[in-house]
Structure 1
Amino acid sequence: MSTLDLVVLFGTLGLIVGYGVYKTLGTKDIDGYLRGGSSMKWGTIGLSVMATQASAITFISTPGQGYESGMAFVQNYFGLPIALIIVAFVFIPIYYKLKVYTAYEYLESRFDKKTRLLGAFLFLVQRGLAAGITIYAPAIILSTILGWSLSWTILLVGVLVIIYTVSGGTKAVSLTQKHQMTVILIGMAIAFGYIVHYLSDFVTFPEALHIAGSLDKLNAVDFSLDFEKRYTVWSGILGGLFLALSYFGTDQSQVQRYLGGKNTIESRMGLMFNAVMKVPMQFFILLTGALLYVFYIFYQPPVHFNQQSLNKVEQQVGSENIDLITEDHDYWIGKRKASAMVYKDALLSGSKEEQKEAQELLQFTAEQVNSSRAEMKNLIASTDVTIKLKDSDYVFLTFILNYLPQGIIGLLIAVIFSAAMSSTSGELNALASTSVIDFYKNLINQNGTEKQYMLVSKLLTAAWGVLAICFAFMAHQSENLIEMVNILGSLFYGNILGIFLVAFFFKYVQGTAVFWGAILSQSLVIALYNFTEIGYLWFNVIGCVGVIVIGLLIQLVKPKA
């Protein structure tokens, strides 16, 4: 990157971190540290909730998902608005009434201590691992693209997050997230604008959409009843509903964001902001990826977007095979561009028959390009099984670095760092809160002073930050990153949600029954994940229903005393 880009990058990050530290220097009590003093308004809550969920993975990996597989992933969020309405009018009043610091405190008052600790433990396991992924994911890609050391990139993100999260707690997290989310949305809009601008030399925006649609990149809705398909309307509405209910209603990283509101009205409005904006935001990011595919029809793409993988292959077996595949790829790239122009002309003046023939030619040439890309991946796999094959996570960053002007590149890289920092800070803050309230204060030091709890909170925030950095160093990529995070969440969220739904709606079920129901249901989910091909969103439904059904059966066998 240029000097200007580095100035913009570090200047943006420094201002955000410095602002968060400065505005929260006076935080001296546990309520202010863990709940932000119950002073935040709906706008801050809304952007903070969105920023905690929208990690760097969202802005690196989701455009690549749109580029490679189209917009079907947006169905993952179809159940989210319904879930947020339920959380706003069922969960929030209960949490405010009990004046809890964490969602899991409620479980002890409703059930017993062991059920509370189980819920908190499941959260710590899932979110602790996820915190490592949210640091590692952008770090591995940024280090590859920018030529930075992976270790130093991980440390940069981790240390910056620890500084302002430890210093100011929940309020610092929420205040910085508000500004980080603003920078993120501006940056994405700028990138989208440049894609459309570059395409205007060849096609209009509607024509670009026609081309994307003809190549199945705008396939946002699938009504298939195939349970092995990852993304359908049904898995999105049902699985996505259960996933979002658990995430926003029982995951402390989200609960903590809206428990810091001035009152229930501010918290509800913050969630309604997300109910209205989240699906359009994900649609927009996926559309950016779909248009990137059209962009690379008219501008030369690499045969493999992760250049580091190609460099490793070249070092081990030489460049001859790489050159042959690249030559074939470039030939079909030229044919695909020509067929896209034919299709454009047919759209303007051709008959339906001419349009169909032009579309079939475009689809054929696109398949040949995909074949050459697959051939390159096969070469990489046959050379070294440790090299990452999937390159879709590098698509958006490749565009940023090669086609955006100086200064804007720095801003977009700052967007990715900001997203990594915002989601990780929310996770660390929530992990520390759960550790302090549900374990330290509950089991070790029930009558401690404010000073003691503050000190332990800061120490545990730093400790979770260090652990997250360690997890990031140990992480291994096996999926598209945005899918990896959702898979990890789906393995645990259904069970946690099931515990809470039993607490809310099945008053005669007691702690022992729901505790063992959760243990058995969690075991079932893990077994199904390892031994079946069920789409992972369904694990949210299976886990939740499993806890309820098994808990009810156990309670029937052993009725309430």
Structure 2
Amino acid sequence: MQFLEISDWCVIVVYLVAIVTLGISMGKGQKGARDYFLGGRNIPWWGVGLSILATETSALTFIGVPALAYGGTNLTFIQIVIGYVLARVVLTIWIAPSYFRGEIYSPYALIDQTFGTGGRLTAGAFFLIAGTLAAGVRVYVTCIPIQLMLGLSESGIIWAILLFVGLSLIYTCVGGLKAVVWTDAIQFGLFLIGGIFVVSYLPGLYGSGGELLQDSMDAGKWEWFHGGFSLSMPFNIWMGVFGAIFLTMSTHGADQLIVQRVLACRDLKEGRKALILSAVLILPLMLLFLIIGILLWTFYQKFPEMKIAVPEIRPGVKKADYIFPIFILSELPSGIKGFLVVGIISAAMSSVSSALSALASVSTMDFYQRWFNPKQDDASQLKFSRVSTLAWAVLLIGVAWWTKSQPTVLNVAFSLSGLTAGGLLGGLVLSLLFRGKQRPAWPLMIGMILSLIVVFCVKTYAGDLIAWPWFTLIGLVTTMLVCMGGMLVSGQRFRSAVNQS
């Protein structure tokens, strides 16, 4: 606590009170699931676009991306971001129109239209597994600076996790998606301003901007392009053009975490605008935080003594995810460091509140209502939705506690998501390709389950040979081949039965 002054605490407390109050105020007038999970489908596109950015970046950007550049990957991660942008173009043109053919609450309803309830429930289960794991990682990342500023031991981070999830839960449970979107928009602005401030402030600490730039260039930290093809290298141009495109098509086209926001837009035109806005801003945003990592690495080469001890993965190897929070707490002036801590907290609160809303949406609309209580009234929907939100918060706390044993959280988050991303994308793509005629569910269900097994085996036994961005493509191909093979067999059996009759 010695690194935070009264002015810093005032900034933090005022922010937390304001954001929770704003979120709670958004809960007025809610009548049912449409208001709670889709914001009444009346949220403007620019608010949705900023919410998408806040959700997909969060604390993994504020802390994890600088850690990548600091730890040795330099600017090469930016090649992945190229794929992020290109994938949004494909989504805007091809997949987004399907979201607005009628009113749906998740992309898994599209799978239901082609493959029935079995396909929908399988896809929903995939999302619930991946969403819980990835959101739990984000909770842990956010609690790193909270742990430091409260003076907690590494094992004492559980108290920071409980505090953080509890605050996120309050406004999400009461305010629903509308609260999530508007608090996201504010939180995105806060951590963007925080990142810009650090880039402008660091040169003064170093001595001069020119010296800082030259030293980082001499060390090769501004290297961004890797043209060589390698399945084991996560950051090269081939990965950006192919692997990242399929990964983003899954995270933004088949993952409820992002799709829920697009569904909250008034119509297709506004949904497309929201996706385009996120495409325009994602590249400069990621570049900003990669540059922070480069500047931090250069700074600590000149001033290697840190005022706060950095936990180690193993003797002599420090956890890079702690570097940026430690810099904020130990090097920034009073008041400003409080604002930067708020930036980290706001970044993660946006992603966790988003995850809670998305998880509750799928468990309520794709499972509970579809399978157990299809005729529930609006009041019952709203009540179950809030109970579901609370239950998912408890699970996220457990996953966050498990994450503390993992050395590099960004790679953990992406690897976990990659286990199910290919199966989800495969289910959605097949549903769109074969739309208009009901297909048997079992080929898709088997394909998605086998894709999970295949990707898990690849990660476990060939993780050093095949980098995580390829997991989505492997899962996609597995799902599509198995499902189409199953549909072919099913069709032949049907024709044989007809001929025999």
**Smaller-chain TM-score range?**
over 0.9
The superposition leaves residues 129-161 of structure 1 with CA deviations (integer Å, 9 ceiling, x where unpaired) of 222221122214531454144232111110111
SS of the residue corresponding to residue 8 of structure 1 reads helix
Q: Take 1:211 and 1:273, find their aligned partners in 2: how far apart are those partners?
A: 35
Report which stretch shifted further, 426-435 or 221-230.
221-230
Q: Out of 265, 278, 300, which is 1:261 matched to?
A: 265
Q: Out of 47, 50, 58, which is 2:50 matched to?
A: 47
User: Does 2:446 align with 1:516?
Assistant: yes
User: Does 2:481 align with 1:549?
Assistant: yes
The superposition leaves residues 220-264 of structure 1 with CA deviations (integer Å, 9 ceiling, x where unpaired) of 111111111121111122110011000000111111111111221
Q: Take 1:417 and 1:378, find their aligned partners in 2: how far apart are those partners?
A: 28
Structure 2 match to 1:30: 33
Query: Deviation of residue 277 (structure 1)?
Result: 0.8
| Aligned AA (1:549) | L
Q: Take 2:199 and 2:162, find their aligned partners in 1: how far apart are those partners?
A: 30
Residue correspondences, number: 482
Structure 2 match to 1:196: 203
User: Does 2:163 align with 1:156?
Assistant: yes
Q: Take 1:403 and 1:42, find their aligned partners in 2: how far apart are those partners?
A: 38
Structure 2 match to 1:339: none
The answer (yes or no) to whether the contact 2:195–2:288 under 8 Å persists in 1 is no
Q: Take 1:52 and 1:378, find their aligned partners in 2: how far apart are those partners?
A: 32
Q: Take 1:89 and 1:471, find their aligned partners in 2: how far apart are those partners?
A: 36
The answer (yes or no) to whether the contact 2:43–2:266 under 8 Å persists in 1 is yes
User: Does 2:386 align with 1:458?
Assistant: yes
SS of the residue corresponding to residue 78 of structure 1 reads helix
The answer (yes or no) to whether the contact 1:77–1:237 under 8 Å persists in 2 is no
Structure 2 match to 1:436: 364
SS of the residue corresponding to residue 72 of structure 1 reads coil
Give unpaired runs (5+ residues) of structure 2.
495-501
SS of the residue corresponding to residue 491 of structure 2 reads coil
Task: After TM superposition, list the pairs within 5 Å mapping 1:376-455 onto structure 2.
Answer: 379=315, 389-455=317-383
Task: After TM superposition, list the pairs within 5 Å mapping 1:232-381 onto structure 2.
Answer: 232-302=236-306, 307=309, 309=311, 379=315
Structure 2 match to 1:227: 231
| Aligned AA (1:216) | G
Report which stretch shifted further, 401-410 or 15-24.
15-24
Report which stretch shifted further, 60-69 or 136-145.
136-145
User: Does 2:417 align with 1:489?
Assistant: yes
TM, length-normalised to structure 1:
0.82
Query: Deviation of residue 437 (structure 1)?
Result: 0.5
Asked which structure has the greater CA Rg, the reply is: 1
Give unpaired runs (5+ residues) of structure 1.
311-376, 381-388
Question: Percent identity, aligned pairs only?
Answer: 31
Query: Deviation of residue 128 (structure 1)?
Result: 1.1
Structure 1 match to 2:183: 176
SS of the residue corresponding to residue 558 of structure 1 reads helix
Q: Take 2:318 and 2:432, find their aligned partners in 1: how far apart are those partners?
A: 43
Q: Take 1:244 and 1:10, find their aligned partners in 2: how far apart are those partners?
A: 35
Query: Deviation of residue 308 (structure 1)?
Result: 5.8
Query: Deviation of residue 548 (structure 1)?
Result: 1.1
Structure 2 match to 1:365: none
The superposition leaves residues 322-378 of structure 1 with CA deviations (integer Å, 9 ceiling, x where unpaired) of xxxxxxxxxxxxxxxxxxxxxxxxxxxxxxxxxxxxxxxxxxxxxxxxxxxxxxx76
Q: Take 1:479 and 1:499, find their aligned partners in 2: how far apart are those partners?
A: 32
TM, length-normalised to structure 2:
0.92
Q: Out of 95, 109, 121, which is 1:105 matched to?
A: 109
The answer (yes or no) to whether the contact 2:114–2:434 under 8 Å persists in 1 is no
The superposition leaves residues 452-507 of structure 1 with CA deviations (integer Å, 9 ceiling, x where unpaired) of 00000011011111221222233343232122111111111011101111111245
